[in-house]
Structure 1
Amino acid sequence: MSSQMVRGARRRLGVVASGVAGLLVAGMMVAANAQAATGCRVAYAVSAQWPSGFTANVSVTNLGDPINGWALAWTFPSGQRVTQAWNAAVTSSGSQVTAANVSYNATIATNATVSFGFNGAWTGSNTAPTSFALNGVACTGEVGGTATPSGSLSPSVSPSMSPSVSPSTSPRPADPMATVAAMQPGWNLGNTLDAIPDETAWGNPLTTQAMLHYVRSQGYNSIRLPITWSNHHGPAPDYTIDAAWLARVRQIVDWSLAEGLYVMVNLHHDSWQWINAYPNDRTNVMNRYTALWTQIATAFRGHSAKLVFESINEPQFAGTSGDAESDQVVQELNTAFVRLVRRTGGDNATRLLVLPTLHTSGEQARLDALNATFNQLGDPNLAATVHFYGWWPFSVNIAGGTRYDSNVEQDLVGTFDRVHNTFVSRGIPVIIGEWALLSYDYTRPGIIERGEFLKYIEAVGHHARTRKLTTMLWDAGSFLHRTELRWRDQGIYEMMKASWSTRSGTASSDQVYVPRTGAITGKSLTLNLNGLSFQGLWQGSTSLTNGTDYTVSGSTLTLTPAALTRLVGNRAYGVNATIEARFSRGAPWQIGVITYDPPTQAAATGTTSAFTIPTQFRGDQLATMEAKYADGSPAGPANWTSFKEFWSNFQPDYAANTIILKPEFFAEVNDGAVTLTFHFWSGTQATYRITKSGTSVTGTT
């Protein structure tokens, strides 16, 4: 977010254990001019070893005058070789190895320490090197050493401190693919620590241990903690994070880890509050960015490897020439993030770091730009992240996007294929850091029809699972009732849960509409088996009878007139009964049996700021609205489509028996006549005509 780093062939390894396999300390002298004081220490630690491989960490402490530019040389005594390094540029010639500084750690002040690490390969034995040279000068452990010929460095390490880890019991270094796989599924604590100015400002309650325990008990393995830091730190140049805020973040992180959850933290709304100014204010933004991430990384460097850092949420920028330049800006910030976190040491040396694309977009150009960053960094412990909110017309219900159709499916499959092919197929794990639909919101019911949303959920789970993508549900309060610790819609949760491991069957609709008057006829739905077999229909615990209550022909399920007559009862408007189709695996498909009559509307007068259409819904539900001028061209906002955006332009109020036309709709409607067509889920359409004159509006049927 060099040459192509081959990750796919890397073996899946276990998590690094806390024990250090071996520690070697060498005093060494730094070659300098005759007047400079020189000297340093080296700590070489084998932190993990397994048959044929190991991980080592090296720390160099400068005891003399400051140096700018360093190269550490040693000889492996047992023919080991370095296979991958971080925080240093490592070259080898036979058993002789040189690790040189990279751009961000070239300077070592007096008594300062620089660290780097590497993965290595070994056969036979893994004896630690016993002598080192910095900038060509052998170590003596005292200030004022002299140069020693290359290849004959005098040892200053006790042989008794050589590694003695048994390959059969040693922990293995973390495998980022395995780590990200273990994070599936994930859940976002949305609109909480990211809320401005504080945790409860956007309507959610304070986070509790009980809530985190509930999330874990429901099968979630990871939690993303979006955090906005901009209101919780001091001024330049230190940008010191408020102690109370950092303590609260630490508390929630620790509670989550104690529940066994992986945890991902980030800079969240900082992205649009101040990071977006980076192209035109590089120094100030980078100083602030560096200060914050250095403090965060330092505060958590001793935490479990199950804590993951994500650089920036949805990076976006002002003042660039376009996406190509913005891609470069993201690369600069992602690169700085990786390097500054790594140099804080501790467990941050190998902690999984997550890098986003520009806008966390799944477009191929954005993915390619992030892939170039991975290649440049050459860091083995990185993951990519994008966000996914579905095909936009369906996600917000505009342009007739009311159903989970082929457009939605193609957008989903295309996005997930791109991220899989760009990253996962090459051994780079991917986290879908946020997913849902943009306008699914329990406070705005009806924008997304429930059954269509269930199909989307089922498909997201299936396509993510088969492409080895980890998904993290964006939940700002619409799914989990955080006070009562229950799901607001249990059926939606059950569909999500099933999708983590298998497919579920669905149908062309989750609604069957039966007229309130007249003869009742059979009603058919098309089953989407998704490779499963249909097992029957149930009403509660009662099995309906095949042949009497329903028939199945191929993928067509038909409810008989007799069954529908029984299910609708007295034929009161609305849902009279709920039945469910069961399949060989997965969640059942609920079907509401609804009595209705075509909705009716009446004339009205009002203004552009307050206009409602009297509507008797009579058991039906509104799907969408069209608006056209007399010449047939679209009226209102988004003038490229006649189908207007649900809720932002129009809103049903079922309790008041009205449809509200919003000021935002009238703001882009010309004076004159407009024909509205209301589409209902029963299939009924109602035509209504409005006339706008200045701020006055009249309506007729």
Structure 2
Amino acid sequence: MKSRSRPLLTVLAAILAVLGLATLPALSQAATPTTPASPAGEATAAGEATPAGEAPAPADAASVVAAMQPGWNLGNTLDATGDDETSWGNPRVTQDLFAAVKAEGFNSVRIPVTWSQHQGAAPDYTIDAEQLARVEEVVDMALAEDLYVLINVHHDSWQWVMELPTKHDEVLARYTATWTQIAETFADAPGQVLFESINEPFFEGSSGDQQNAELMHELNATFHEIVRSSGGNNADRVLVLPTLQTSADQARLDELNATFAELNDPNLAATVHYYGFWPFSVNIAGYTRFDEETEADLTGMFERVDQSFVSQGIPVILGEYGLLGFDRHTGTVEQGEKLKFFEAFGAEAREHGVTTMLWDNGQHLDRTEHVWQDPALFAHISSSWTERSGTASSDQVYVARGTAPEAATLTLNPNGNTLVSVNEDGTPLTEGTDYTVSGDELTLSDALLTRLTESQEHGVNATLTLEFSAGVPWEVNVIVHETPTQEAATGTTEELLIPTAFLGDQLATMEAVYDDGTNAGPQDWTSFKEFGYTFNPDYAAGTIALTPEFFADVRDNATVNLTFHFWSGATLDYTLTTSGSTVTGTPAT
């Protein structure tokens, strides 16, 4: 993954699934907690300790991959396509960063590397010696912190490798030269260093699935031959092979299984990526919640990789995971829905024995201060490595300003735990008075909500903490709101800012349709537009921005009717009129 865009084929496949051209597997049962394997420096799978700073003795691929759990990605750094590792906004890598990663509980790092801009011309495609030395230096930093390391050929996939169907010999020669140099450089690196053949591979100009499968096999087999014949520790180093597009679709898994059968090498691992059920992951088509369909997509993915690989003795590294909306900002998906996704993701990974590596392009772990940008998110991610956490149907309770609150009910999802207490600022509330529990229904009393919202200030008036018998507590914000209001606006197709008084509420999604009822704007198979891509709320500024991407697919001289949906349940209708590059908007009457 890169923060700029996703491969087109991956997005198209997701859209087809939403349109009903692919089926979703059934929901699985709740995961059973297990303990991840020990990293280097602790007890190994064989029960012997590895001294800190030393590579473990050669082990089978399954043991190595298990010891890598959990993992973290050094994204948008050595894979940046500019001239320097800082060109995408992250600071130069330091030893302290890896020390912080290790201290946060990670046992491995994936270090994506893009080689294109550091290579000479044909026929040698020589990699700049300074860049190779820098990659070595960064790998050594990670090893010094007892971290397993996975390095690869990264954004080269969409820069030149994808031309394999139409420039076969040229691309294969460059790919061969690239991996020959990498393999030689790291031939004596310890077994804690793994190689991944190519990131998110896809092909342009192929004749279809059969040729794609043949080319994917050729790349993986070529990589395997180069590394195995390069000497040193590469003879039995664990090598990681991706599916086409790193997809977990069954056809792609079957194709990679055929490659494993042909190579017949016990020190191989499979890799796929997972960014969630696409509509939920980017907040489009009304998928604002972690609902049954979204969960079914998640559980189905893990079941397929388990049945295809893990249960057959082939370990799996889920080399990147997250939500695609994070490419823009982490607020694309509402906080509580986001936390439910990551909690369930971790549980499924443990149940199916899959090693996971969090994609972080610099937006999660601050690369300078070494603190988490969203501590609650990381708390749920890290807890999920060893146990389940209880959640609830929402992390929000809305109380209308100026009205007597009514009791509010949330449905608990204990995930095998039990509710122990409900607290306010560390003080337990009184069951039977402040709240009641009936089965999995938690009801907050009208008296409690009246007390908590006495200030009548717009926004969060109180935060309740639901303590379960295990895992991370679930926080519920009690929010005072009024129905938002909007004003008329004039702008251009480059940007229209709609003045919006949110009055304590938050935007969930937006619909756009023409006067004739057909869907307006990009991705016109749905009226619900993509959050962050076509519209963006700015709560501090009091605006909702409509983007150039939205207007690029809006008819000229058209009337577009917008409906803004808020988390309180409120909706606002707004009318746009376009004329050339000029756009005017007015609240609907």
**TM-score normalised by structure 1 residue count:** 0.74
Say yes or no: does 1:531 pair with 2:416. yes
Distance 2:87 2:451 in 1: 50
Distance 2:496 2:169 in 1: 51
When structure 1 is superposed on structure 2, of 680-689 and 567-576 the one drifting more is 567-576
- 1:648 is displaced (CA, Å) by 1.4
**More helix per residue: 1 or 2?**
2
Report if aligned partners of 1:229, 1:270 keep a CA contact under 8 Å in 2: yes
AA aligned opposite 1:543 = P
Deviations 1:217-258 (A, max 9, x none): 111011000000111122222222211111111111111111
Report if aligned partners of 2:39, 2:107 keep a CA contact under 8 Å in 1: no
Where does residue 250 of structure 1 map in the other structure? 136
Say yes or no: does 1:291 pair with 2:166. no
Where does residue 457 of structure 2 map in the other structure? 572
Distance 1:246 1:539 in 2: 54
Deviations 1:367-399 (A, max 9, x none): 111000000000110000000001110111110
Distance 2:152 2:277 in 1: 26
When structure 1 is superposed on structure 2, of 669-678 and 522-531 the one drifting more is 669-678
Consecutive unaligned residues of structure 1, counting only runs of 5 or more, are 1-12, 17-49, 51-170
Deviations 1:275-313 (A, max 9, x none): 111222222222221111111111111111010000000
Say yes or no: does 1:346 pair with 2:232. yes
AA aligned opposite 2:401 = R
AA aligned opposite 1:576 = N
Return the match for 2:540 from 643, 652, 655. Answer: 655
Return the match for 1:563 from 445, 448, 451. Answer: 448
Where does residue 125 of structure 1 map in the other structure? none
Where does residue 403 of structure 1 map in the other structure? 289
Q: Secondary structure at the match of 2:89?
A: coil
Say yes or no: does 1:209 pair with 2:134. no
Where does residue 130 of structure 1 map in the other structure? none
Distance 2:163 2:286 in 1: 37
- 1:693 is displaced (CA, Å) by 2.6
Where does residue 541 of structure 1 map in the other structure? 426
Where does residue 67 of structure 2 map in the other structure? 182
AA aligned opposite 1:306 = Q
Deviations 1:317-343 (A, max 9, x none): 112012321111010010010111011
Where does residue 139 of structure 1 map in the other structure? none
AA aligned opposite 1:353 = L
Say yes or no: does 1:610 pair with 2:495. yes
Say yes or no: does 1:425 pair with 2:311. yes
Where does residue 570 of structure 2 map in the other structure? 684
Distance 1:371 1:637 in 2: 37
Q: Secondary structure at the match of 1:481?
A: coil
Return the match for 2:164 from 278, 284, 292. Answer: 278
Q: Secondary structure at the match of 2:164?
A: helix
Say yes or no: does 1:582 pair with 2:467. yes
Where does residue 303 of structure 1 map in the other structure? 189
Where does residue 675 of structure 1 map in the other structure? 561
Return the match for 1:444 from 321, 325, 329. Answer: 329
Distance 2:330 2:564 in 1: 17
CA change 1:491–1:572 in 2 (3 A) is: same
**More strand per residue: 1 or 2?**
1
Return the match for 1:319 from 184, 198, 205. Answer: 205
AA aligned opposite 2:468 = F
CA change 1:205–1:463 in 2 (3 A) is: same
Q: Secondary structure at the match of 2:294?
A: helix
Say yes or no: does 1:333 pair with 2:333. no
Where does residue 469 of structure 1 map in the other structure? 354
Distance 1:323 1:228 in 2: 26
Deviations 1:439-494 (A, max 9, x none): 125x6353111110100000110111100111100000121011111011111111
Q: Secondary structure at the match of 1:245?
A: helix
Distance 2:249 2:330 in 1: 30
Report if aligned partners of 1:446, 1:622 keep a CA contact under 8 Å in 2: no
Q: Secondary structure at the match of 2:146?
A: coil
Distance 2:519 2:170 in 1: 47
Where does residue 29 of structure 2 map in the other structure? none
Where does residue 365 of structure 2 map in the other structure? 480
Report if aligned partners of 1:15, 1:172 keep a CA contact under 8 Å in 2: no
AA aligned opposite 1:252 = V
CA change 1:172–1:492 in 2 (3 A) is: closer
Distance 2:417 2:210 in 1: 45
CA change 1:282–1:176 in 2 (3 A) is: same
Where does residue 416 of structure 1 map in the other structure? 302
Q: Secondary structure at the match of 1:279?
A: coil
When structure 1 is superposed on structure 2, of 291-300 and 563-572 the one drifting more is 563-572
Return the match for 1:199 from 82, 85, 94. Answer: 85
AA aligned opposite 2:519 = P
Q: Secondary structure at the match of 1:235?
A: coil
Report if aligned partners of 1:576, 1:594 keep a CA contact under 8 Å in 2: yes
- 1:609 is displaced (CA, Å) by 2.3
Say yes or no: does 1:636 pair with 2:502. no
Q: Secondary structure at the match of 1:486?
A: coil
Distance 2:375 2:112 in 1: 25
Where does residue 454 of structure 1 map in the other structure? 339
Q: Secondary structure at the match of 1:237?
A: coil
- 1:172 is displaced (CA, Å) by 7.5
- 1:173 is displaced (CA, Å) by 5.0
Report if aligned partners of 1:226, 1:268 keep a CA contact under 8 Å in 2: yes
Distance 2:304 2:487 in 1: 50
Distance 1:247 1:542 in 2: 55
Deviations 1:488-522 (A, max 9, x none): 11111110111001111101111111112121221
Q: Secondary structure at the match of 2:197?
A: strand
From the CA coordinates, give the structure whose radius of gyration is larger: 1
Indicate the percent of aligned positions where both proteins have the same amino acid.
Answer: 58
- 1:623 is displaced (CA, Å) by 0.5
Q: Secondary structure at the match of 2:379?
A: helix
AA aligned opposite 1:568 = T
Distance 1:213 1:696 in 2: 53
Distance 1:351 1:610 in 2: 52
Q: Secondary structure at the match of 1:698?
A: strand
Report if aligned partners of 2:202, 2:245 keep a CA contact under 8 Å in 1: yes
Report if aligned partners of 2:500, 2:544 keep a CA contact under 8 Å in 1: yes
Distance 1:468 1:542 in 2: 39
AA aligned opposite 1:368 = D
Distance 1:579 1:321 in 2: 57
Return the match for 1:230 from 98, 116, 134. Answer: 116
Return the match for 1:261 from 147, 167, 178. Answer: 147
Where does residue 377 of structure 2 map in the other structure? 492
- 1:569 is displaced (CA, Å) by 3.6
Where does residue 506 of structure 2 map in the other structure? 621
Report if aligned partners of 1:15, 1:174 keep a CA contact under 8 Å in 2: no
AA aligned opposite 1:594 = I
AA aligned opposite 2:515 = A
Q: Describe how 1:377-388 pairs up with structure 2 within 5 A.
A: 377-388=263-274
Report if aligned partners of 1:577, 1:593 keep a CA contact under 8 Å in 2: yes
Distance 1:657 1:433 in 2: 39
- 1:15 is displaced (CA, Å) by 12
CA change 1:553–1:389 in 2 (3 A) is: same
Report if aligned partners of 1:676, 1:690 keep a CA contact under 8 Å in 2: yes
Distance 2:391 2:131 in 1: 46
When structure 1 is superposed on structure 2, of 688-697 and 421-430 the one drifting more is 688-697
Where does residue 518 of structure 1 map in the other structure? 403
Distance 1:323 1:389 in 2: 23
AA aligned opposite 1:405 = D
Report if aligned partners of 1:14, 1:173 keep a CA contact under 8 Å in 2: no
